[in-house]
Amino acid sequence: MATPHNNANPGDIAKIVIMPGDPLRAKFIAENFLEGAEMFTDVRNVYGYTGTYKGKQISVMAHGMGMPSIGIYAYELFNMYDVDVIIRVGSTGGLKDEVQVKDIILAQGCSTDSNFADQYEMPGILAPIADFGLLNKAYNKAQELGINVRVGNVLTSNHFYNGFTNAYERWRSMGVLCTEMESAALYYLAAQANKRALSILTVSDHLFRDEEMSAKEREQGFTEMINLALETALEI
């Protein structure tokens, strides 16, 4: 049942998948958080592993950068490998003044400048939102673990480098907390497949202040977010 992007066999992938963007972060999670992790795909160096976390079978797989990339991998997981739940663990750039670097954000919904949803030919604008059950479990688990999280609207953009200097100012004036490049696509794909999805994001930099994490910190410094995702998965 391999695809051009995934050489896993049926049964290799768990019902719950944790998805970072960076393949090296997927490898880091598998090696440091999962027991008995075995690689099920390495096509295009996009690594996927299945192991157990506190006795529960969980997979971790990278999704790359941008909506087209996660659009391929998440679509195949939901529709070809019968995955039920995807939890994205990613980085995001802060927009609102109160958002701080290393804050954790639960993406309740996504604004977007993308036309990704045009493929569904809706007679209006389909709002990409998280599964409330997952969102509620993650929020409650964060309170239990003493993790301070922010919940709200994020921007999923097609642009990493935005040529319009006031664009982000407009988004944050409407209460958007941060910007990233994948979550809206994940939420659209979950809605299409009648599956469940949530994005948990760590603020790696701030677009209105000179603050950022290093590449190494982004790869290995998201422990709190990863713990929250895995502990949430145990509640499913």
**Is 80 marked as binding a ligand?**
no
Q: Confirm if 166 and 55 have CB atoms less than 8 A apart.
A: no
CA–CA separation, 118 and 111 (whole Å): 15
**Is 157 marked as binding a ligand?**
no
**Is 63 marked as binding a ligand?**
no
**Is 181 marked as binding a ligand?**
yes
205 is catalytic: yes
**Is 5 marked as binding a ligand?**
yes
Which of these is catalytic: 42, 82, 84, 205?
205
**CA separation, residue 57 to residues 12, 60, 90, 135, 151 (Å):** 11, 10, 21, 21, 27
**Is 176 marked as binding a ligand?**
no
Q: Which residue(s) pair with 155 in the sheet?
A: 111, 179
Give the helix, strand, coil percentages of the chain, each rounded to 5: 35, 30, 35
Q: Which residue(s) pair with 3 in the sheet?
A: 6
Q: Confirm if 59 and 40 have CB atoms less than 8 A apart.
A: yes
**Is 180 marked as binding a ligand?**
yes
**Is 89 marked as binding a ligand?**
yes
Annotated binding-site residues for phosphate read 21, 25, 44, 88-91
Annotated binding-site residues for a purine D-ribonucleoside read 5, 180-182, 204-205
Active site residues: 205
